[in-house]
Amino acid sequence: MFERAQATGAERIWEVGALCHAVGDALAARFNPVAVRGEISGFSRTSSGHCYFSIKDAGGQIRCAMFRRAASLLDFAPRDGDSVELRGRLGVYEQRGDLQLVVEHLQRAGQGALFEQFLRLKARLESEGLFEAARKRALPLAPRGIGLVTSPGAAALHDVVTTLQRRVPHIPVLLVPAPVQGAQAPAALVRALEQLYALAKAPPEIGVPPIDVIVLVRGGGSLEDLWAFNDETLARTVVQSPVPLICGVGHETDFSIADFCADLRAATPTAAAELVSAPRETWLAALQLLEQRLTDGVERQLDQRHLRLDQAGARLGRPSLLAQREQLALAGLAQRLGQALLLNSERHALVYKALEADFPQKVKTALAAQRQRMETAALRLQLLDPALVLQRGYALLQTPAGELVRSVRQAPPATALRARLADGEIELTVVPPRLL
């Protein structure tokens, strides 16, 4: 009957597989390659690396398959509820007759424009030196207090507090709450950090623990969810922290501008809490080790002191023998001292006698030599007396002011002068030279 229908040009009867194949060809010709935006649902990854999920919105749903090669190129971990954009090939999975999209590229929705904005800001801040490793500080080994900034309703807060209570229950934690998502989040985060900065720089007060490290955390999410931590003002506030600041935003594959500006970046909020809290058991073990080393050192010192005491006792032997040796040595020294004093006395007596015999003659000789030197000096002084020169017919010319005339330039014609001779003075007036 079917053959007669086909022979008479009746409606074609399809094989199921052939129809699925034909539909797939028609879809490929009409739509491929295709780009779709929607929300991930039912995401799973097999041990072989293939990923399977659905993409949906309020109007529909499409099954998707992303094979290992394409999945290995992902720069984030897809999760249910993520808003994504994908490109791929639309077809029919013939074994089930389902519409299927084979995904070749997957990214968060809006990631293209946001990511470009992220890269531009990152490059600019990096050129200004905000990411320099040289300015970043090491976390304190044993902080006296920890400042925490996150949303009070976030799962990250529970993770951080649980970790800190388990590892360092003795360290106080000061929470300054702030929203971590939305348009108001960047400004609120900046205010929270500035509040902690003021506490960290304030002088210590009784009952107020000092802030030695600050933790800025948020759980995972899409690029849009984490966008508050890519704010420029927040980035510049992070680098102004007066104490080391650790940033734990998102998951291991998530990076934000705040991560690059912080002194240390943690892969997750829990990892951030672990980095600022060496467990109490570690410190107790270190203290026990130090105690053992101190005990060993004291015992070694005591052993050395006992050994030296035993050696000194062996050398000392009988104290009476040592006292006798010292007495003999002392007697010998006393005898040598007496002999030396006697010898010195005899020498001093001989010297005194020699000096007593020669003293008068030496005094007379010294006085005669001194008298001779005085007479020679007096004669030289007389020879230098100007009066002797005047007695030989010379005169001293002086101006009325008493200035000695040594050159004719000092006495032009009509100059009044005073001439001093051996037996008196004469008033003179200079006249012009006469021509012969």
List pLDDT tens digits, range 29-43: 677 778 888 888 889
Based on the domain organization, do 60 and 190 belong to the same domain?
no
Yes or no: say if 406 and 385 are a contact pair by the CB < 8 Å rule.
no
CA distance 90 to 25: 9
Longest dimension (CA), the chain: 185
Based on the domain organization, do 59 and 145 belong to the same domain?
no
Give the pLDDT band (50/70/90) at residue 161: very high
Establish if 2 belongs to a structural domain: no
Based on the domain organization, do 151 and 257 belong to the same domain?
yes
CA distance 277 to 163: 9
Based on the domain organization, do 132 and 219 belong to the same domain?
yes
Residue ending a domain, choose from 281, 316, 341: 281
Establish if 212 belongs to a structural domain: yes
Based on the domain organization, do 81 and 153 belong to the same domain?
no
With 0-12 CB in 10 A as exposed, 13-18 as middle and 19+ as buried, what is 395?
Answer: middle
Our count of domains for the chain comes to: 3
Q: For the chain, give percent helix, strand, coil, nearest 5.
A: 50, 20, 30
Query: Which string of b and e fits 152-165 if b means at least 16 CB within 10 Å?
Result: eebebbebbeebbe
Based on the domain organization, do 91 and 208 belong to the same domain?
no
Give CA 180 to chain center in angstroms.
30
Yes or no: say if 101 and 94 are a contact pair by the CB < 8 Å rule.
no
Establish if 295 belongs to a structural domain: no
Q: What is the mean pLDDT of residues 120-141?
A: 92
pLDDT at 320: 63
Residue 406 has which token pair?
Answer: 């040594």
Locate tokens 């739509």: which residue?
31
In degrees and rounded to multiples of 5, residue 136 shows phi and psi of: -85, 140
Give the pLDDT band (50/70/90) at residue 197: very high
pLDDT at 318: 61
Task: Evaluate if residue 68 carries a pLDDT over 90.
Answer: no
Tens of pLDDT along 269-283? 999 999 998 776 776
Say how many C-beta atoms besides its own lie within 10 A of residue 24's C-beta. 19
Based on the domain organization, do 170 and 95 belong to the same domain?
no
Q: Is 137 helix (H, G, I), strand (E, B) or coil?
A: coil
Give the pLDDT band (50/70/90) at residue 6: very low
Task: Evaluate if residue 317 carries a pLDDT over 70.
Answer: no
Give the pLDDT band (50/70/90) at residue 321: low
Residue 283 CA: distances (Å) to CA of 225, 286, 323, 338: 38, 5, 58, 73
Based on the domain organization, do 25 and 149 belong to the same domain?
no
Based on the domain organization, do 77 and 182 belong to the same domain?
no
State the CATH number of the domain containing residue 136: 3.40.50.2300
Based on the domain organization, do 135 and 91 belong to the same domain?
no
- Pick the closest to residue 188 from 244, 247, 229, 226 (CA basis): 229
State the CATH number of the domain containing residue 62: 2.40.50.140
Tell me the residue range of the domain where 272 lies.
121-281
Based on the domain organization, do 104 and 203 belong to the same domain?
no
Based on the domain organization, do 43 and 131 belong to the same domain?
no
What residue spans of 202-279 are helical by DSSP H?
232-238, 257-261, 269-275
Give CA 295 to chain center in angstroms.
36
Yes or no: say if 276 and 215 are a contact pair by the CB < 8 Å rule.
yes
Q: Answer yes or no: pTM beyond 0.75.
A: no
Give the pLDDT band (50/70/90) at residue 86: confident
> Which span out of 87-101, 111-125, 231-245 was modeled with the highest average pLDDT?
231-245
